Amino acid sequence: MLRRFAAASRSSAKLVAPLGCLVSRQKHTLPDLPYDYGALEPHINAEIMQLHHSKHHATYVNNLNVAEEKYKEALAKGDVTTQVSLQPALKFNGGGHINHTIFWTNLSPNGGGEPKGELMEAIKRDFGSFANFKEKLTAVSVGVQGSGWGWLGYNKEQGRLQIAACANQDPLQGTTGLIPLLGIDVWEHAYYLQYKNVRPDYLKAIWNVINWGMYLQDMQLAKSRVEFLHRLLKCHQFYSDTTLVVPVAYK
């Protein structure tokens, strides 16, 4: 199934005319959480979840809409200078929207424990054991300097799982080529109100609410989930090419 996953992923994207996409797409909206703000307590408290979702994620969504509107105007005018100047805002806010939308589904009040099925088989194959995987992802996430994310991703070229860290709100696939499966937010707004500056304590706690449910147990379902999440940006997924970002459309 991993081979089918890789083959399908290679044909999932194509370059398109960005102006047409911007004209036709609707504004991005803040997704609802699949659980209450207090559902992840005592591991992540309700105050953190409310602020994180309704304030921080909402800000990324709002700023992305503003940046895209400006970008659409610049495209219509042929104003390349403005288009280039808007790339950081598109990448930061677009990445923040994608990252957080994935993050909310990676958590569950019924989470914790270990995955089953093909994902568990792949973890054992690529990391030796679930304990080794957990230790490595925790270490990478603890080691992020400043703000960023720790990720479990799928390397479609090599057909294996891979751990990576991304700074700020850089989207995993756009900066590393890995398809995101599990993301851990290590910005201080994700934990400071409860864990202060002790990031390792937050990371120890978050494993108790990691969702190893239907989205992650089967790699084919995970593939479909990732495709859905990337459509949140409609015609936009932001891939860095030095200082420029290429709009990509998903079939």
Model pLDDT for residues 50-72, shown as the tens digit of each residue: 999 999 999 999 999 999 999 99
52 labelled binding-site residue: yes
The pLDDT value given to residue 219: 65
Instruction: Check residue 238 and give its pLDDT.
Output: 37
Q: What is the pLDDT of residue 13?
A: 31
Between CA 234 and CA 3 the distance in angstroms is 27
- Give residue 222's pLDDT: 63
Percent of the chain scoring above 90 in pLDDT: 69
Q: Are strands 248-250 and 244-246 parallel, antiparallel or unpaired?
A: unpaired
Task: Determine contact, residues 237/171, Cβ cutoff 8 Å.
Answer: yes
What is the reported pLDDT for 25? 60
The SS3 assignment for 189 reads helix
pLDDT at 21 over 70: no
* 28 annotated as a binding-site residue: no
Judged against a pLDDT cut of 50, whether residue 22 lies above it is answered with no
Could you report the per-residue pLDDT of 79-109, keeping only the tens digit for each? 999 999 999 999 999 999 999 999 999 999 9
Q: Is 100 annotated as a binding residue?
A: yes
Structural domains in the chain, CATH included, are 46-106 (1.10.287.990), 117-226 (3.55.40.20)
Per-residue pLDDT at 233: 45
Task: Tell whether the model's pLDDT for residue 237 goes beyond 50.
Answer: no
Model pTM?
0.81
The highest-confidence range among 32-36, 222-226, 231-235, by mean pLDDT, is 32-36
Asked whether 98 and 31 are in contact (CB, 8 A), the reply is: no
| pLDDT tens figures, 133-157 | 999 999 999 999 999 999 999 998 9
Q: Is the pLDDT at 244 greater than 90, yes or no? A: no
Q: Mind giving me the DSSP string for 24-63?
A: HPPPP-PPPPSS-TTTTTTTS-HHHHHHIIIIIIHHHHHH
**What is the tens place of the pLDDT at every residue in 181-223?**
999 999 999 999 999 999 999 999 999 999 998 656 566 666 6
Work out the percent of the chain whose per-residue pLDDT is above 70.
75
Name the residue with higher pLDDT: 190 or 224.
Answer: 190
Half-sphere exposure of 234 (CA within 13 A, CB side): 15
pLDDT at 117: 85
230 is in an annotated binding site: no
